[in-house]
Amino acid sequence: MPQTSERRGYTRLDATLLDRFTARPSWARTVLLRRIAAGVLAVLGVVIFARDAVAEDHIRIVVAARDLAPGVRLDTADVEYRDFDPATVPDGTLSEFENVLTHTVAGPVRAGEPLTDVRLLSSHLAESMISEPDARVVPVRLSDAGVTELLRSGDTVDVLTVGDGDNDRVARVLATKAVVVLVSAESAQQRSPDRVVLVAMSAEDATAVAAASLVSALTVTFH
């Protein structure tokens, strides 16, 4: 009992925080609890506000869910949504799945990289490749499979064919400073001579190249 009386008076030097709290009058304990509760609520309010502010400062965009190779036709397994700081989002970024699904990737894309309009085969891609608003992308098969093997996305080339001159067969330039967009991948079903090269060029040159590809052999020279 003396030990109990001593603890109730808190004459011991090693009284705990709980001992000191319970020793206060009931009205004092109530005031202290209210102050603690108010402090906790204030902290929670700051945390919630900060979380909401961060969420509002970010935007959701479509990114590659895995490394993508040129020529891949996108499906739901290839893309995902991620939140980005608006300051780090490149121009032309796509924000909805329906804007990318079933489209073909024009160049290699790393996992987590935002997908933009110039990463996919589209009219925007042709325009961005040669800086002409009326640009076109033309599919061609080159007569020399070895040349096709050397081509890479971004290469600048001239497209040529052989036309009949007065006395000789002479080379004829169909398009200058065209840009290779994509070279189709070689597969067991597709032999090298059947591989298609997509080339961006002006609308006028595109018409000439498309027409010549129906009747003449085509090749390219590199810049």
The verdict on 47 and 63 lying in the same domain is: no
Q: Is residue 139 part of a domain?
A: yes
Percent of the chain at pLDDT > 90 equals 25
The verdict on 145 and 207 lying in the same domain is: yes
What is the DSSP secondary-structure string of 44-70? HHHHHHHHHHHHHT-EEEEEESS-B-T
Q: Is residue 140 part of a domain?
A: yes
Higher pLDDT, 4 or 209: 209
Higher pLDDT, 82 or 29: 82
Into how many domains does the chain fold? Answer: 3
Lowest mean pLDDT among 28-37, 121-130, 144-153: 28-37
The verdict on 110 and 186 lying in the same domain is: no
Per-residue confidence (pLDDT) for residue 193, from 0 to 100: 62
Q: Is residue 2 part of a domain?
A: no
Higher pLDDT, 107 or 30: 107
Q: What digits encode the pLDDT tens for the residues 59-108?
A: 889 999 999 888 888 998 999 999 988 888 888 888 888 888 888 888 88
Per-residue confidence (pLDDT) for residue 1, from 0 to 100: 46
Q: Which residues contact 111 (CB under 8 A, 6 or more apart)?
A: 63, 64, 65, 66, 67
Per-residue confidence (pLDDT) for residue 7, from 0 to 100: 47
Domain boundary (121, 142, 168) is at: 121
Query: pLDDT class for 10, splitting at 50, 70, 90?
Result: very low
Query: pLDDT class for 134, splitting at 50, 70, 90?
Result: confident
- Tell me the torsion sign for CA atoms 154, 204, 103, 113: positive
The verdict on 34 and 82 lying in the same domain is: no
Query: pLDDT class for 113, splitting at 50, 70, 90?
Result: very high
Residue 14 pLDDT exceeds 60: no
The verdict on 146 and 214 lying in the same domain is: yes
Query: pLDDT class for 184, splitting at 50, 70, 90?
Result: confident
Residue 146 pLDDT exceeds 50: yes
The verdict on 51 and 77 lying in the same domain is: no
Lowest mean pLDDT among 68-72, 195-199, 218-222: 68-72
The verdict on 141 and 212 lying in the same domain is: yes
Q: Is residue 5 part of a domain?
A: no
The verdict on 65 and 116 lying in the same domain is: yes
What is the DSSP secondary-structure string of 124-159? HHHHHHHT-TT-EEEEE-BS-HHHHHH--TT-EEEE
How far, in Å, CA of 200 to CA of 209, rounded? 11
Residue 167 pLDDT exceeds 70: no
Q: Is residue 154 part of a domain?
A: yes
Domain boundary (75, 98, 121) is at: 121
The verdict on 216 and 146 lying in the same domain is: yes
Q: Is residue 31 part of a domain?
A: yes
Please provide residue 72's backbone torsions phi and psi, each rounded to the nearest 5 degrees.
-70, 130
- Structure tokens given for 107: 């160049």
The verdict on 73 and 52 lying in the same domain is: no
Which domain does 42 fall in, by range? 17-56
CATH number for position 97: 3.90.1210.10
Q: Is residue 158 part of a domain?
A: yes
